[in-house]
Chains A and B, each alone.
Chain A
Amino acid sequence: MTPRPSLVMFAIFVGITLVVTYWASGQSQTSRGFYAAHRRIGGLQNGWAIAGDYVSAASFLGVTGLVAFYGFDGFMYSVGWLVAYLAVLFLVAEPLRNTGKYTVADLMSFRLRGRGVRAIAALSTLAITIFYLIAQMVGVSALVNLLLPQLGDVAGIVAVGVLMLVYVLFGGMLATTWVQTIKAGLLLLTALALSLLAAAHFHFSLGDFFGAAAAVRAGGASVNLLQPGLLFHGTLGAWNLISLGLALVLGTAGLPHILMRFFTVPSAKAARTSVAWAMALVGTFYLTTSFMGLGAATIVGKDHIGRRMFAGQAISYIAHHPQQETALDAQLERSGYIVPKVDSNLAAPLLADEVGGSLLTAFVAAVAFATILAVVAGLTITASSAFAHDIWFSLIRNGHGDETEHLFVARATALIVAAMAIVLSIALRGFNVAFLVGLAFAVAASANVPVILLALSWRRFARFGATVGMLAGLISSLALIAVSPVLMGKHALFPLENPGIVSIPVGLIGAILGTLIARDRESEAMFDQLQVRAVTGLGAEV
């Protein structure tokens, strides 16, 4: 694989986006500009930006690899991530635009006034975005080690961290939106090109393409990738699949960095249009994962994809000393460590190498970096608004403080969050990336979604219920992951890898019980106002 062309292409992407950031920096001098791009982003562009914010490296590299390895079972992720947008479309996008200001906590604290609810909502936002952020940055280290081993993964993480900080600090939401828009275009183009080239390999005969996927040679045997059960098998597999499915389909409606995008558009109608565009783009992308993944399995060959994912330093060590791989394995096994599985993340770049040569591979690698960069910029701005707007401005300063202070705190938070993400992801290098993203989805689905939905629809819903619900969802999802097979291996106390099937109901029941225990007249009195605002857009922030 050739490192130089991919660095050049990545540099071009960075160059263009830096010009955009310079232009945007003049327009983000107020908090409304910094967080919400003056609510002037159109529905079409916001749709592209949502797609750019949502489709991370976990989807592009991860899901393509899962489809290449496990066929149908890997494709299940793609299905869940698209269908999830129906929940966003029907339940949250428009009410959120009509009632919120900058953050998710705004919606909750609209009728659930008081410090407690806002503080916990901001905390769960911070927890979700930081897990998500670390997952993306750890992805950088894997990518650097696999594609550009001579650069070194620490240098890669620091470079990505500093770049995203430049976008966020100087360009605010407007620059971030443009970075995401450009990246979404590049990613979709790449995915479509790879799919077409894969189909061209079979002379555009879908019958031949899927026929080959139904009989892939792997390790001397023939595997049917169109059959379910390669990744999730047996009864435990079925429950795993359902738990994961629930977290995926409900989690998106609680992801703060996606919800925050609805505050950048001028109206509820534009919020709806942006979900429509996002669904068209995200859906097209996830359809192509089928072609890219099955294409990689059949054209590259399933046996040739799997280089292995080693923890942190081991990756770069093996990159430099490939002949010592077996010795290192034996050593790991002796010391009681888990010997890493074959890594499927290279399926998309390898397919590019096979069907398009080294230049296309370089382009795919550059797009993968751009993908991570755009997602981390969106996450950082979300975390910084949760702290500056919800914790600093609303709680510590009690709503006082001027624009200058507000912006200063927001930028300082972005700096701290970025530094934290850089340090944590250097420490967690080689940690399973999919696990961290799954954690973020499960926390969002358990802590945020029940409370958002009840706040929008249940007159009696009380502050105490919101507090209990969010805490129950947050704690149960984190605790179940801590005792799941992902972290505890064979000695796990909880059998499923994703906690969704338990923690989502726990969050919901917590919210309902808390409400039934403590009657909240003030919240009930605000319900009419909330409903009128949510449905008609009367008095919405402009």
Chain B
Amino acid sequence: MSEDASEAVELLRIPVELDYTYSAGQSASRFLRAIAEGRLLGQRCPVDGKVYFPTRGSCPQHGVPTAGDPVELPDRGCIVTYSIVRVPSENIPLELPYIAVQVLLDGADTVLMHVLGESSLEDVHMGMRVQAVWRPRGEWTTSIGNILYFKPTGEPDAPYDSYREHI
């Protein structure tokens, strides 16, 4: 017996590879078809009329499908809150540091998580007005990734009271 045989095995690497095929679902499909054409579609909760964007097909507050005609939203809004991220994650192909933002699109009642570009780390702040920067039209797919990032518009800030209920 060699010495090695008595040594504890401390760590095994056992790669696990599982493939999953996801269905977007009925509601998200409509949203994704639209975004492939550069349009942002929200949906209303049939109970209180609030506009969900992005939509997951239901209003979680009332447990009902967000049925009815979709609501087309502009690609601009304001930053509700943000964080400057300096921690790498293997799932996120962004250069550090980057600014993660929650964007409330004009006319929407839920926030979209995305990143802010064309802004210095010092300038970003709550209430900052932003608009989407899209990939070139030829690269559009059925993905929210068609929006590369949001950038400041230079408009006056949204007042705190106009978005405080979305944090």
* A interacts with B: no
B-side interface residues toward A, CB under 8 Å?
A: none
